[in-house]
Amino acid sequence: MFPVYRVERDCMLSVQGDITVGFEVSLPEIFTLSARDYEAFHQGWVRAMRLLPEHTVFHKQDWFVREAYGFKEVPGGDFLSVSSERFFSGRERLAHKCYVFLTKKPAGRKLSSSAFSNILRRSIVPKSVIDEQQLSDFLDAVGQFSRVLSDSGFVSLVRLDDDALAGTANQPGIIERYCFLLGENSPSMLRDIHLKGGISVGEKKVELFTLSDAEDLPAMCGSRINYDRYSTDRTKFSVGFASPLGLLLDCEHVYNQYIFIGDSSLSLKQLEAKRRRLQSLSAYSRENAVSRDAVNGFLNEAVTMQRLPVKAHFNVMAWSEDAAKQKELKNLVASAMAGMDVVCKTETDGAAQVWFAGVPGNQADFPMNDTFDTFAEQACCFLNLESNYRSSDSAFGLRLGDRLSGYPVHVDLSDEPIRLGYTDNRNKFVLGPSGSGKSFFTNHLMRSCFRGEAHVVIVDIGHSYRGLCEDAGGYYFTYSEENPIAFNPFYLVPGDVMDTEKKESIKTLLLALWKREGESYRQSEYVAVSNALNLYYAFLGRNPDVFPCFDSFYEFLMEEFLQVLEDGKVQERNFDIDNFLFVLNPYYKKGEFGYLLNARENLYLLHQPFIVFEIDSIKSHPILFPVVTLIIMDLYVSKMRKLKGIRKIMLIEESWKAIAKEGMAEYLKFLFKTVRKFFGEAIVVTQEVEDIISSPIVKAV
């Protein structure tokens, strides 16, 4: 009784002489295609279908089987990572696998029907012998079919070999999986198959729902439909036309899609004869007149628009081991078909024949009385076009949840979009109203980046990252009366050298502290400050017991540098040292801001991988805010240029509006334009889309 005679040369040969080639197909991820993409994808299927020779059966089989996420050991036993694994452990989703089988029927093969099927006969004798030329021609057409689909850019096809088709000693093949309804990674398991009173495979009760009659089909079909859950009055969210019978159908099932490509000229002749019969009978019945007009319209479209007439059949084979859920299957499938404007029909008498024809390699034995006439364009509308979200192979990224089931998916938002050609930089923005979970998401994103060995610098308002900073063992800079914010731009980590960039950043800071906002400095003043810095670090080299900080720099100016100026006879009009010392006096020891530039802890900023600047309480301070922004600028630019091969991330929370002014605005422009060249990324978080689209900084970059 079994229809597959042999599996060899990556083909299945039936006892009737039918040759079947199988492919595993990777479809686009659900909710990722636009309306235009769906139309282009649909046209790709139609073009590929036209390349198949006559007497070919196209069978697309989509499997949706539940799988549970398994707990994975976390190296190092990190508490949050282990907790995440425990949280997702056991979570289920519908795992999707898509297969395409192309079957070439030998010429003269007797068509099957519900009354004539090889499942009803006790012996089968092959009717023809397959020659090499026939096989070669068919494989050429199959190769063209595969190439056209792959060139569409939406799918990839992998030819199923002998082991994938017939299985091995330890792994079931697709034929065995279909017969016993096994998951992809399930072990081989023999189950009893009962066909009386319905189909049962072991403990699984199978329900078969068919689309085999044109009267049950929708009046209109297309490549896509609106998904109401994500659509609004103004925007329409698209999913594939057949998606309600795919991932959106929440039960274990197989969605079978058959398209039979016959002799088009013969099919048109048969329809012409049918039209003439209906014409002769139209006087006796209005139904005959309507049917005559329908057939006539079909023939006119086939001739004038060069359509490819085909026969088609679609069915959903759903099952469940739970008796209570078995009763819900029909309701689930009927509801899904209603979303496509299709009448659900439960197959009873012909269920065994339809099920048996779905065995890979036996597609040619499908009962043709369960098919309907249509064109390739309309038939391809009923193909399932989408698959599950797939985890990225990239080592860097974060864990997100599948929209449908919450199943964990590893996503790379930084490197993979560049590798795939979607963008040329890693910059991002996070947008959402208050309470939408921005801070929760960005905490997760930053922790994932930190775990991926990236250096993270965060500018925050609201203390959203204190806990994450403590968990990461990073530096947390914030201002309070009891514990004011403190830095030390003069300190050099052992091993670092005073390069030009470091000197320029300190000079910029000193000049900003000296001159009022908007007040320019003379070139002679710039040279004097530069000379003072050079002499100060030379002084530190001779006196290793002196701690580098603003206090020691100020004392150096009052003692050593004043003497240098007197000896060099520098005129006061070129550099007013008294004014310089007087203006900077508040930052020295007991001054009002003596704490600001004399920190003795949190000094390893360049090599500290996680740093948070919380500036909520100083964002309006005329003194502290400019100093802190300069420190931030210097820090991230230093990381960009000095940390070769290390990912650098700058996250600017709601504070970005506060810092996007004066000199900081130019820094942001520089940052967004150049950060990609240094293996870095800049991220902005905000509540209003207007903050993004109306920002002159964003427009400039």
Contact 662, 674 (CB under 8 A): no
- For the segment 171-200, the average pLDDT, to the nearest whole number, is 89
- For the segment 59-71, the average pLDDT, to the nearest whole number, is 94
This prediction has a pTM of: 0.84
The position carrying tokens 């078995």 is 326
Residue extents of the structural domains in the chain: 4-262+309-380, 413-487+599-700, 515-594
Confidence of residue 631 (pLDDT cuts 50, 70, 90): confident
Query: For residue 572, what pLDDT is reported?
Result: 54
- Residues with Cβ within 8 Å of 523's Cβ and at least 6 positions away in sequence, in order, are none
Query: HSE-up of 479 (CA within 13 Å, CB side)?
Result: 20
- For the segment 236-261, the average pLDDT, to the nearest whole number, is 95
- For the segment 51-78, the average pLDDT, to the nearest whole number, is 91
Query: For residue 641, what pLDDT is reported?
Result: 85
The lowest-confidence range among 67-71, 112-116, 532-536, 690-694 is 112-116
Contact 507, 529 (CB under 8 A): yes
Q: What pLDDT digit, counting tens, does each position of 363-383 carry?
A: 999 999 999 989 999 999 999
Percent of all residues in the chain with a pLDDT value above 90, rounded to a whole number: 45
Q: Report CA 174 to chain centroid distance, whole Å.
A: 28
Confidence of residue 125 (pLDDT cuts 50, 70, 90): very low
Contact 318, 329 (CB under 8 A): yes
Does residue 601 sit in helix, strand or coil? coil
Which of 38, 399, 349, 342 is closest to 214 using CA atoms?
Answer: 342
Query: For residue 697, what pLDDT is reported?
Result: 60
State both tokens at 63: 């499997």
Average pLDDT score over the chain: 87
The residue type of 129 is: V
Q: What span, in angstroms and rounded, lies between the C-alpha atoms of 176 and 174? A: 6
CA distances, 193 to each of 37, 196, 200, 243, 473 (Å): 42, 10, 6, 30, 60
Top-confidence residue, 165 or 669: 165
Statement: residue 287 has pLDDT above 80: yes
Encode burial over 307-323: b for 16+ CB neighbours within 10 A, e otherwise: bbbbbbbbbbbbbbeee
State both tokens at 352: 């065994």
Query: For residue 231, what pLDDT is reported?
Result: 92
The residue type of 371 is: T
Q: What span, in angstroms and rounded, lies between the C-alpha atoms of 14 and 6? A: 7
Query: For residue 467, what pLDDT is reported?
Result: 93
Cα four-point dihedral sign 183, 186, 187, 190: negative
Q: What pLDDT digit, counting tens, does each position of 219-245 carry?
A: 899 999 999 999 998 899 999 999 999
Beta strands in 615-692 (DSSP E): 648-652, 680-686
Which helix (H) or strand (E) is 431 found in, with range?
Answer: strand 428-431
Which helix (H) or strand (E) is 80 found in, with range?
Answer: helix 79-88
Query: For residue 444, what pLDDT is reported?
Result: 94
Q: Which range in 47-56, 325-334, 683-692 is most confidently predicted, on average pLDDT?
A: 47-56
The residue type of 608 is: Q
The residue type of 231 is: S
Contact 275, 299 (CB under 8 A): yes
State both tokens at 123: 């012996």
Which phi and psi (to 5°) does residue 175 adopt?
-65, -45
Q: What span, in angstroms and rounded, lies between the C-alpha atoms of 695 and 675? A: 19
Contact 179, 4 (CB under 8 A): no
Read off the DSSP letter of residue 387: B
The lowest-confidence range among 467-481, 529-543, 685-699 is 685-699
Strands 398-401 and 428-431: unpaired
Query: For residue 700, what pLDDT is reported?
Result: 60
Statement: residue 567 has pLDDT above 70: no
Cα four-point dihedral sign 386, 387, 388, 394: negative
Q: What sections of 152-224 are H helices per DSSP?
A: 162-166, 174-180
Query: For residue 324, what pLDDT is reported?
Result: 80
Q: Which range in 105-114, 233-242, 649-658 is most confidently predicted, on average pLDDT?
A: 233-242
Statement: residue 557 has pLDDT above 70: yes
Domain 413-487+599-700 in CATH 3.40.50.300? The answer is: yes
- For the segment 111-116, the average pLDDT, to the nearest whole number, is 61
Q: Residue 183: how many CB atoms within 10 A of its CB?
A: 15
Beta strands in 551-701 (DSSP E): 610-614, 648-652, 680-686
Q: What pLDDT digit, counting tens, does each position of 310-334 carry?
A: 999 999 999 998 878 888 899 999 9
Q: What span, in angstroms and rounded, lies between the C-alpha atoms of 31 and 41? A: 14
Q: What pLDDT digit, counting tens, does each position of 336-366 carry?
A: 999 899 998 999 888 999 999 999 999 999 9
Statement: residue 126 has pLDDT above 50: no
The lowest-confidence range among 249-258, 323-332, 434-443, 619-628 is 619-628
Q: What pLDDT digit, counting tens, does each position of 499-543 carry?
A: 787 888 888 888 888 887 667 778 888 888 888 888 898 898 898
Number of H helices, E strands in the chain: 23, 23
Contact 512, 627 (CB under 8 A): yes
Which of 35, 26, 46, 19 is closest to 312 using CA atoms?
Answer: 46
Encode burial over 159-180: b for 16+ CB neighbours within 10 A, e otherwise: ebebebbbbeeeebbbbbbbbb
The residue type of 37 is: D
Top-confidence residue, 700 or 443: 443
Q: What span, in angstroms and rounded, lies between the C-alpha atoms of 22 and 9? A: 12
Query: For residue 27, what pLDDT is reported?
Result: 97
Q: Residue 290: how many CB atoms within 10 A of its CB?
A: 12
Statement: residue 544 has pLDDT above 70: yes
Query: For residue 616, what pLDDT is reported?
Result: 84
Confidence of residue 123 (pLDDT cuts 50, 70, 90): very low
Q: Report CA 65 to chain centroid distance, whole Å.
A: 21
Q: What pLDDT digit, counting tens, does each position of 2-51 carry?
A: 889 899 989 999 888 889 999 999 999 999 999 999 999 999 999 999 99
- For the segment 86-104, the average pLDDT, to the nearest whole number, is 94
Confidence of residue 128 (pLDDT cuts 50, 70, 90): very low
CA distances, 191 to each of 178, 188, 549 (Å): 12, 10, 79
